[in-house]
Amino acid sequence: MNTHTFLASDDEQHYSDKCIANTKDNVRHQEASINNDCIVGDGNLRSCALRFARLGDYREAISLLNQLLKRNPENAIDYNNRGLIYYQCGERQKAFHDYNTAIELNPKLASAYNNRANYYAAYGNLAAALDDYDEALNLNPTYTRAWINRGITLRDLGRYEESIDNFEVAQLFDQYEGHILAERGRTYHLWGDWNWAIADYRRALALLPMSQNHSDAAGWRLRLQVENWLGELLCS
């Protein structure tokens, strides 16, 4: 089964790989800057936690979210964000527990369903994943990342035509065009339509970041995948 490209909440990006880390010296410098900026307000703590997560300092990010949850134990968004960070650092059972808690506290939090669906997909429970993607999209029909993730899951099930349909719906919302083209290209590739696959891969490469970039680490990893997929086709 192919690994999803996205792990999606509204605050962070996708999937099972950790964020690409900066050099240690650069990380320490940026962490010092964050520590100087962080003050006691909830909004600042939440922002700082997400900044630490983007740097790959998951321990510090989780510590800050723990502080937030001690103050506000009914905050579904903070459980969802902490679950996402647990997931990114490989503690998936803790992530799953936090997603469930977030959904119990706020059954209308679409990103928590999307994140839990990604957990199910990673463990091969694709039927449960589709159920959660469907719920996320029922709550927010313009949730582009959920459409992309649902398309990837349908592809993993061999339902290529439905997968393509999901990516084309995702395109309607004018977000993540490079990701959508890459995943649609992969679907055409596996479906055997290599001309469409090559066209989508090339269009995706024109949009995905050309260097490591913490603001779109998932895009950089996806670019490397697309280059490999395109190479497979051109060398066939």
Q: Which of 2-6, 149-153, 183-187 has the lowest mean pLDDT?
A: 2-6
d(CA 94, CA 85): 10
Give the pair of three-digit tokens for residue 136: 């996320």
Q: The whole model's pTM is what?
A: 0.83
pLDDT grade for 13, boundaries at 50, 70 and 90: very low
> Where is pLDDT greater, at 126 or 27?
126
**Residues 40-58: what's their mean pLDDT?**
85
Q: Residues 181-198: what's their mean pLDDT?
A: 98
Instruction: Please tell me the distance from the alpha carbon of residue 214 to that of residue 107, in angstroms, as a whole number.
Output: 31
Rounded to a whole number of angstroms, the distance between the first and last alpha carbons of the chain is 22
* Domain membership flag for residue 229: no
In a domain, 203, yes or no: no
Residue 74 lies in a domain: yes
* 3-state SS string for 66-110: HHHHHHCCCCHHHHHHHHHHHHHCCCHHHHHHHHHHHHHHCCCCH
pLDDT at position 19: 32
Confidence of residue 28 (pLDDT cuts 50, 70, 90): very low
How far is the C-alpha of 168 from the C-alpha of 178, rounded, in Å?
A: 13
Tell me the C-alpha distance between 9 and 166, whole Å: 18
The Cβ-side half-sphere exposure at 218, using a 13 Å CA radius, reads: 20
Residue 228: inside a domain? no
pLDDT tens-digit series, residues 193-234: 999 999 999 999 999 998 876 567 788 899 999 999 999 999
Q: Which residue has the tokens 């001309």?
A: 195
Number of domains in the chain: 1
* Residue 17 scores a pLDDT above 70: no
At residue 21, φ and ψ (nearest 5 deg) are -85, 150
Decide: helix, strand or coil at residue 223: helix
pLDDT digits (tens, 9 = 90+) for 77-91: 999 999 999 999 999
Report yes or no on 155 lying in a domain: no
Q: Residue 74 burial by CB count (10 A; 0-12/13-18/19+): exposed, middle or buried?
A: exposed
In a domain, 153, yes or no: no
- Report yes or no: 197 and 182 within 8 Å, Cβ to Cβ: no
Mean pLDDT of the chain: 85
Decide if 59 is inside a domain.
yes
Structure confidence at residue 115 (pLDDT)? 98
Q: What is the reported pLDDT for 214?
A: 58
Residue 20 sits in a domain whose CATH number is: 1.25.40.10
In a domain, 191, yes or no: no
Please give the residue that has the higher pLDDT: either 41 or 99.
99
At residue 218, what are phi and psi to the nearest 5 degrees?
-65, -35
* Confidence band of 41 (pLDDT split at 50, 70, 90): confident
Range of the domain at 78: 1-141
